[in-house]
Amino acid sequence: MTIKTVATTPFSDQKPGTSGLRKAVPRFQESNYLENFIQSIFDSLEGYQGQTLVVGGDGRYYNRQAIQIILKMSAANGWGRVKVGQSGILSTPATSCVVRKYNAFGGIILSASHNPGGPDGDFGVKYNIGNGGPAPEKVTSAIYERSKQISEYKILEADDLDLDRLGETTLGDMTVEVIDAVQDYQELLESLFDFDRIQQLLMGGNFRMCMDSLHAVTGPYAHAIFEKRLGAPAGTVQNGKPLEDFGGGHPDPNLVYAHDLVDIMFGEDAPDFGAASDGDGDRNMILGRHFFVTPSDSLAILAANATVAPGYKDGLAGVARSMPTSAAADRVAQQLGIDCYETPTGWKFFGNLLDAGKATLCGEESFGTGSDHVREKDGLWAVLFWLNVLAVKQQSVEEIVQEHWKSYGRNYYSRHDYEAVESDRANALMTNLRNALPDMKGKQLGSYTVDYADDFSYTDPVDGSVSEKQGVRIGFTDGSRIVFRLSGTGTKGATLRVYLESYEPNPAKHDVDPQTALKPLIDIAEEVAQIKSCTGMDEPTVIT
């Protein structure tokens, strides 16, 4: 086996977004495209020679081929050991768990998260640092700068390795260890939650659950944890075999794309509890019988009930949420007497707070929740947390949520997504909004008075770094607000996200349909941003 140095030229589009580099599969398959980006990662790091790297992905199309390239490049670049998930499978939270448990230097996660897969679908590469979390901006910026200058990459000439057989092999001077993808992660979850009590709930005969893995990475984890360890009946996990194209579906756990689960949970003889996870296992959707729990409410309810779980019995250091996420968690934090941090979207912003011990639970409205047990959001963690709460409180999902609203009030909340908008049109919409901000304070919009209007900026309380232009906010004097933001997770055009929130303290008004309760704000959003004319779309692609 010999190390080969291959001459190459830069690609102009290798700037990582909030969750790494995401492109269509055919782009990654272009000659040298993946190799350039991997070499740019290695070239931007210092001190990794002889260290451990963790590699895995969500099983989507091109996952196995990409891993073989990464293994050979890792050997050529001096890594000492690579831990890779069996069959190339390793969920995003499990990767974070393994990096942290074995003090690895970092990890490479192959996923485009909730984006569709298959030969014409999407693929992604994300680098995680030694704390198990996504690389901060200074690291991703260094990777991008290197990608613009790269002239060669190193790769070992060797046969492909067997990724399906557990155990160690050598690749040049490097050790490759194929690990059980579930074991370390399951052990971590067992240390946090009362598995015996959850097992009693699932095996008691009066409680049924349905877990939909959407033919994505959590299938093997869900089978092992819910059906084998916790004793739920076979068939509790549906769509549990990871497929390269996710069965032709869209592995995004929301009310539109997780339609199999929604049909079950809102149908006749529905189970008591339903949950879904996404492509790489870091997102979750929670449902009760004929009842949907918004991610914002889920974070707040888990924070309010955290001490029922053994791993959080001593309480929380603090709570953190992304700026577009509703303020429901803020009200819980205030009552608990702990801090609540508002950060830009992107899990990397939570990493500093978690490492500094300032926050214990974190959440985003985009179906992501997690804690300081790893440095990523964690779909199955959230499902187990809910099961632990249900096992202790012995109430239905709906009863727990309604009880929470009575105590804290209800934050009516919705997100309207306009997907695959032509980038120029989406950017023009945001530019027009930003230009209008200086004259907006004090303005009357419908029955609302504007209290503030700004482009959200965040100063990290740990390292002092500043992140600007994180989303346009229009806040009203009654606490309601509208947020406009372009998402960086898609690969085609731009996704405009419009977030709408209204607080209702009166329990007698807690049963209104959110779209009805928020209709005045929806109309104002259209009036202010001229969404239909700017995007060319009459209605959102997805409403959650």
- Each residue's pLDDT tens digit, 340-393: 999 998 888 899 999 999 999 999 998 999 999 999 999 999 999 999 999 999
- pLDDT tens digit sequence for 414-472: 999 999 899 999 999 999 999 999 999 999 999 999 999 999 999 999 989 888 899 99
Domain at 410-543, CATH from 3.30.310.50, 3.90.550.10, 3.40.1260.10, 1.10.10.1100: 3.30.310.50
Task: Catalytic residue, from 91, 113, 298, 502: name it.
Answer: 113
Task: Look up the pTM and report it.
Answer: 0.93
Compute how many other C-beta atoms are within 10 angstroms of the C-beta atom of residue 342: 16
Residues linked to residue 179 through DSSP beta bridges, in sequence order: 85
Reply yes or no on whether the pLDDT at 490 is more than 70.
no
* CATH number for the domain running over 3-181: 3.40.120.10
Q: Enumerate residues 6+ apart whose C-beta is below 8 A from 207.
A: 201, 272, 273, 390
136: confidence class by pLDDT, cuts 50, 70, 90: confident
160: confidence class by pLDDT, cuts 50, 70, 90: very high
What's phi and psi for 58, nearest 5 deg?
Answer: -95, 5
113 and 392 Cβ atoms separated by less than 8 Å? no
Question: Both tokens of residue 177?
Answer: 């260890």
The predicted pLDDT at position 492 comes to 67
What's phi and psi for 310, nearest 5 deg?
Answer: -55, -35
In a 13 Å sphere around the CA of 92, the CA atoms on its Cβ side amount to 34
Taking residues 58-79, report their average pLDDT.
98
The fold of 185-405 is Alpha-D-Glucose-1,6-Bisphosphate; Chain A, domain 3 (3.40.120)
Query: CATH 3.40.120.10 occupies which residues in the chain?
Result: 3-181, 185-405
Q: Is 147 a catalytic residue?
A: no
316: confidence class by pLDDT, cuts 50, 70, 90: very high
Closest alpha carbon to 201 in 398, 383, 379: 383
Compute how many other C-beta atoms are within 10 angstroms of the C-beta atom of residue 432: 13
Closest alpha carbon to 467 in 343, 327, 341: 343
Q: Return the ∠ at Cα 148 (arms to 144 and 149), rounded to 5°.
A: 120
d(CA 75, CA 71): 6
Q: What is the mean pLDDT of the chain?
A: 95
Reply yes or no on whether the pLDDT at 134 is more than 60.
yes
**Sign, Cα dihedral of 403, 408, 409, 415:** negative
β-strands 448-455, 444-445: how paired?
antiparallel
What's phi and psi for 331, nearest 5 deg?
Answer: -70, -35
The predicted pLDDT at position 346 comes to 82
Query: CATH 3.30.310.50 occupies which residues in the chain?
Result: 410-543
**Sign, Cα dihedral of 270, 273, 278, 281:** negative
**Sign, Cα dihedral of 126, 130, 134, 140:** negative
Length of the chain: 544
Taking residues 32-53, report their average pLDDT.
98
- pLDDT tens digit sequence for 248-290: 999 999 988 999 999 999 999 999 999 999 999 999 999 999 9
The residue whose two tokens read 């500094």 is 356
d(CA 117, CA 26): 11
295 and 114 Cβ atoms separated by less than 8 Å? no
Helix (H) or strand (E) holding 361: strand 361-364
Cα 236 to Cα 51, 248, 391: the distances in Å are 40, 21, 17
Cα 318 to Cα 345, 350, 353: the distances in Å are 18, 11, 9
The residue whose two tokens read 């405009």 is 496
Query: Distance of alpha carbon 57 from its chain centroid, rounded?
Result: 14
Q: Return the ∠ at Cα 531 (arms to 530 and 532), rounded to 5°.
A: 100
